[in-house]
Amino acid sequence: MLGEGILKGLAETAKNFFGSYISAERLTTVEYPEQRIAPFEAARVFPFLVYDGGDWEAGLRCVACQICEKECPPKCIFIEKSKDKKPDALGKPQFYPSRFDIDISVCMSCQICVEVCPFEAIKMNTEFELSTDDRFGGLLLDRKQLAKSNEYYHEIHATEAASVDAHLAAEKAKADAKTKAAAEAAAAKAAAAPAAKPEGAGD
C-alpha cells in the first residue's frame, strides 16, 4: 500500500505523544531545578583530576607527562611540569603538574584525554551546572578546582572506578613483587660472595 510506512511512522509518533501524558514512565521532562534526574553512569561532561588520600596536592595521580595536552583536539589543556619529584601510587618518584589548567569554554568533552592517560589520572565528570558571568576567569579551571577524590570518582562512575582500582592494585602488587625479588637477589648475591681478605694477611 502506498504510504504505509508514513502511516506507521505517524501512528508511532501519536502513540508516544499521547502516551507521555498518561504514563509516568514516558514523561520526558521534570520540574528542574526542583526535580533532577540522576545522570547515567556513562555520562560525561568535563574532565577532572583524580587524587588518592586526603591531600589533593600530594595525592594527585597526574605525573605531568603532558600526553593529554598534546592529544587534546581543541588544545584547552595547559600543563607545566614541576622541577622536583614526588612518589606516585607505586612509590616511584615522578614529576607532578605545578600547573594544570583546563579551559572548559573550549573543551568539547571528547574524552580523548581520558583515553590516552597511562596513569588513570584524568576522568570525565558528570557535573554540568558550570555557567558563570566571568567568561575568562570563571571557565578556566586550575588543578585545585579540577582535583576530585577517588571516593568522588566511585560515586559518579562506580563500575569504571572499581575496574581502575583493581588495575592499579595489580600494577602495584607487580611492582612490589619485582622490588622484593630484586632485593632478595641482591641479598643472596652478597651472601654468596667470598669474604674479603683482611688487610695485611699472609697468603
For residue 198, is pLDDT > 70? no
Q: Is 126 among the domain residues? A: yes
- Find cell 570525565 and name the residue: 124
Task: Give the pLDDT confidence score for residue 29 in this predicted structure.
Answer: 77
The pLDDT of 4-11, averaged and rounded, is: 91
Sheet holding 97-103, edge to edge: 77-81, 97-103, 140-141
Judge whether 202 lies within some domain. no
Environment class of residue 51 by beta-carbon count within 10 Å: exposed (0-12), middle (13-18) or buried (19+)? buried
- Where residue 67 falls among pLDDT bands split at 50, 70, 90? very high
194 burial (CB, 10 Å; 0-12 / 13-18 / 19+) is exposed
Domains identified in the chain, total number: 1
CATH number, domain with residue 85: 3.30.70.3270
- Strand locations in 38-150 (E): 47-51, 77-81, 86-87, 93-94, 97-103, 122-124, 140-141, 147-149
Cβ pair 122, 81 in contact under 8 A:
no
What does the pLDDT read at residue 197?
54
| Domain annotation covers residue 8 | no
H or E stretch covering 48: strand 47-51
Are 61 and 52 in contact by the 8 Å Cβ rule? The answer is yes
Q: Three-state SS for 126?
A: coil
The answer to whether residue 93 is domain-embedded is yes
In a domain, 181, yes or no: no
Residue 80 pairs with which residues in a beta bridge?
99
Give the confidence band of 201 by pLDDT, cuts at 50, 70, 90.
low
Confidence of residue 195 (pLDDT cuts 50, 70, 90): low
The reply to whether 121 falls in a domain is yes
Q: What are phi and psi of 194, to 5 degrees?
A: -65, 145
173 pLDDT more than 70: yes
Residue 35 forms part of a structural domain? no
Would 172 be classed as within a structural domain?
no
Domain containing 126 equals 47-163
Predicted structure pTM score:
0.76
What are the angstrom distances between the C-alpha of 79 and each of 36, 95, 102?
Answer: 35, 12, 9
Nearest residue to 113 via CA among 105, 125, 130: 125
Q: What is the C-alpha to C-alpha distance for residues 149 and 31, in angstroms, rounded to an integer?
A: 31
Residue 43 has pLDDT above 60, yes or no: yes
